[in-house]
Amino acid sequence: MMNIDDIRINFNSDNLWLVNFALALVMFGVALDIKISDFTSLIKSPKPVIIGIVTQFILIPLVSYLFILVIQPEPSVALGIMMVAACPGGNVSNFMTKMAGGNTALSVSLTAFATLAALVMTPLNFALYGNLYAPTAEILKSVSLDPFEVLKLILLILGIPLLLGVLMNHYKPIFSKKLSKILKPVSVVIFLSFIVIAFLNNFDIFIKHIHLVLFIVLGHNALLLFTGFVAARFGGLDYIDQKTISIESGIQNSGLGLMLVFTFFDGLGGMALLVAFWAIWDIVSGLLVAFFWSEKRMKTAKA
């Protein structure tokens, strides 16, 4: 029987810079809608943002670690779960929140804060839980994973595009608004095209091996959506904010996670397979959840 870590996803490492550029472009497109005032909203109305950030970087990694303890997956698959959990929310969550009738302003603010927090929290959470769980700690011993190298990559993909987008929106708001209308959908299409092409190039591999991670990804994703919703509910937030934080929790930046897997783990089989499927599934699940809430909102409005 084939070892899961012998699986090799067809991904040309020479083209990593193209994927880096696509991710940075998506972040820049999102950042064009972010104002400096969105950051100051933490002072004026801190509760929703604080609950969202705590959920993203404290609860999600913790719940994911407990999930691993319960299901006891292959060590490399467990490492993939930890990678997904350590990443910030995905940039497409803003679109899905709007579709679901959530708080788009909160979603954008969380994107901004989570991107900044990810510079520190993503390598910190991954290193913490990766070394806390004995089977994954063994893998990390054989990998030269420098947290500062992870930080540098996240800074290039998320931090700098965020800063440039926010500054352009501040100094050239009219131009930024026009550019955002073009760049935001184009950048998302480019990024999604990478995912589709990568999936088609690995179709046979997915068909043969997807059963190894299918129910793990579905279960983990549902758990994160539920965690976000419950955290917001127990935090006393209204229903609109509950939907928003649920989507922010269930849509992880798996593209960033995949980049880290191929950059630092040489596409480790179980890890790459799980994160790659996450990159596809969280978009599907996010659209399904957003559509459900959208339909529910329309029915309520008609009643």
Any idea what the CATH number is for the domain that residue 132 is in?
1.20.1530.20
pLDDT value for 298: 66
- Whether 7 maps to a domain, the answer reads no
Question: Above 90 in pLDDT, residue 55?
Answer: yes
- CA dist 191 and 212 (Å) reads 26
Collect all residues with Cβ–Cβ distance below 8 Å to 64 and sequence separation of at least 6: 81, 82, 84, 85, 129, 220, 223, 224
pTM of the model: 0.86
Q: Is the pLDDT of residue 1 over 50?
A: no
E-only strand ranges, 24-88: none
pLDDT at residue number 254: 82
* Pairwise pLDDT comparison (145 vs 210), residue with the higher score: 210
Residue of 270, 251, 262, 186 whose CA lies nearest to 19: 262
In a domain? residue 160: yes
Tell me if 173 is assigned to some domain. Answer: yes
- DSSP character for 55? I
Most confident of 63-77, 79-93, 184-198: 63-77
The whole-angstrom separation of Cα 27 and Cα 88 is 12
**Confidence (pLDDT) at 24:** 82
DSSP assigned state of 8: -
Measured distance between the N- and C-terminal CA atoms of the chain, rounded to whole angstroms: 56
**Is residue 144 pLDDT above 70, yes or no?**
no
Q: What is the pLDDT of residues 86-139, one digit of tens each?
A: 998 877 787 788 888 888 778 888 888 888 888 889 989 999 999 999 999 988
Contacts 24+ apart (CB under 8 A), 6-9: 6/269, 7/205, 7/209, 7/269, 7/270, 7/272, 7/273, 8/267, 8/269, 9/198, 9/202, 9/205, 9/267, 9/269, 9/272, 9/273, 9/276
Q: How many domains does the chain have?
A: 1
pLDDT of residue 27: 81
Domain membership of residue 6 (yes or no) is no
Rounded Cα distance between 81 and 279, Å, is: 12
Higher pLDDT, 9 or 166: 166
CA distance 162 to 118: 12
Percent of the chain exceeding pLDDT 70 equals 92
For 156-165, how does the pLDDT look when each residue is reduced to its tens digit (9 = 90+)?
888 888 889 8
CA distance 47 to 235: 8
Residue 5 in domain: no
Provide the pLDDT for residue 97: 86
> Is there a domain that residue 1 lies in?
no
SS3 252: strand
Q: Is the pLDDT of residue 152 over 70?
A: yes
For residue 184, is pLDDT > 80? no
Give 37: exposed, middle or buried? Use CB within 10 Å, 0-12, 13-18, 19+.
Answer: exposed
Does residue 226 sit within a domain?
yes
Q: Which domain holds residue 277?
A: 12-298
156-160, 227-231, 254-258, 274-278: which is most confident: 227-231
Is there a contact between 4 and 269 (Cβ–Cβ < 8 Å)? yes
22 domain-assigned: yes
Closest CA to 258 of 64, 96, 87, 94: 87
